[in-house]
Chains A and B, each alone.
Chain A
């Protein structure tokens, strides 16, 4: 074997070794490296009451309800198959509308409601001009109203 081929073999083995090592590490990290729980993982993992966590998902259509005090809102965060009721007091981000993504900092209370201290809006991977949204979205009017506000 020529030295050049020896070095090539060594390089290939090293690269494969690195890939395997990183795959193992990533697999071990899988849940810890997630930025938030979804309603489904929140239910699966039985997160303890009062522990500071983040919850992420879509704001369910028609679920935002203002409380009597005018600054507290209740809404439902959903993923593909599960839902979680969230309560938040404060100013919502501009992109916080029904049907959009949201990530909330907070904790579960004893009634199973997620009490949010802070809301972050999450943009999805779709980029659609405002003029085209009537074609692309079913309930664009509600969305448009809330965007313009």
Chain B
């Protein structure tokens, strides 16, 4: 099963029509949910209209964490099964995950100033998300150092697995340690967010996830295309050498 899509040609045949489908349906959902949420959400009892940050901050946070989870799973697939697309997927995720982590921190900070009275505090949640952002930068640096063919070295994959330790820390940080950041509102046992906010939030999260996936697939396709170009160039170079000899 895991090797079904190992063949890049088969992957590309599915990925090509999937990219615009995911991207545009995601875009429509994000614009719809955020437009509706920002224009029509009622003020929250304490937060007032800054509650509207929820529609972008939560998807950014979720995808920053989800992105590294994807890198970790791909890294294991690369190390254990030598799956040919795994390292390409992980490398495609890294910069997008980094951007989402940065957006999560920026939107959180903009919300925190009027709410808490400060842009930033060094509590468990904020610090562990900042660590996640730096882990992404480290991954990108290691990936760039390892190869220029869209794949990554095994050291990079090991780093991707080790970095995943931070994921449960981010998730549990508000429970293990007293933090200024609020605890989770949406848990397995339900939600403490009123449904007027929850519905657009839900659609926005799905929409951003689709856009994230479309961008990752787009980057994977471009990496595979580069590999193909390089192989062709090498063949052409060898051919001319043969003629010359």
Contacts and interface: CB of A to CB of B under 8 A. Distances in A.
Contacts of A100: 46
B185 A127 contact: yes
A132 B194 contact: yes
Contact of B178 (A14, A36, A95, A124): A36
B177 A95 contact: no
Given A93-B116, A95-B117, A147-B46, 18 more contacts: A7-B80, A15-B161, A19-B165, A22-B165, A26-B169, A29-B177, A35-B178, A120-B118, A125-B184, A126-B185, A127-B47, A127-B192, A128-B45, A129-B42, A129-B194, A130-B45, A131-B42, A147-B48
Contacts of A93: 116-117
Contacts of B51: 127
Interface of B: 41-48, 51, 54, 76, 79-81, 114-118, 121-124, 161-162, 165, 168-169, 176-180, 182-185, 192-194, 196-197
A133 B196 CA distance: 13
A121 B44 contact: no
Interface of A: 4, 7-8, 11, 14-15, 18-19, 22, 26, 29-30, 33-38, 56, 93-95, 97, 100, 103, 119-133, 137, 140, 143-144, 147
Contacts of A121: 115-117
Nearest to A94: B114
A128 B44 contact: yes
Nearest to B196: A129
Contacts of B42: 129-131
Contacts of A7: 79-80
A128 B45 CA distance: 6
A43 B124 CA distance: 22
Given A94-B114, A147-B46, A125 B185 contact: yes
A26 B168 CA distance: 11
A120 B178 CA distance: 14
B192 A126 contact: yes
A18 B79 CA distance: 16
Nearest to A11: B80
Given A18-B162, A127-B54, A11 B182 contact: no
Closest 5 CB pairs of A and B: A35-B123, A129-B42, A93-B117, A34-B178, A127-B193
Nearest to A144: B45
18 contacts: A7-B80, A11-B79, A18-B161, A18-B162, A29-B177, A33-B124, A33-B177, A35-B124, A36-B178, A119-B117, A123-B46, A123-B116, A126-B192, A128-B194, A130-B42, A132-B45, A133-B45, A147-B46
Contacts of B169: 22, 26
Contacts of A15: 76, 161
Contacts of B79: 7, 11
Given A97-B46, A103-B180, A125-B185, A35 B121 contact: yes
A119 B122 CA distance: 15
A37 B161 CA distance: 34
B81 A4 contact: yes
A122 B179 CA distance: 9
A127 B165 contact: no
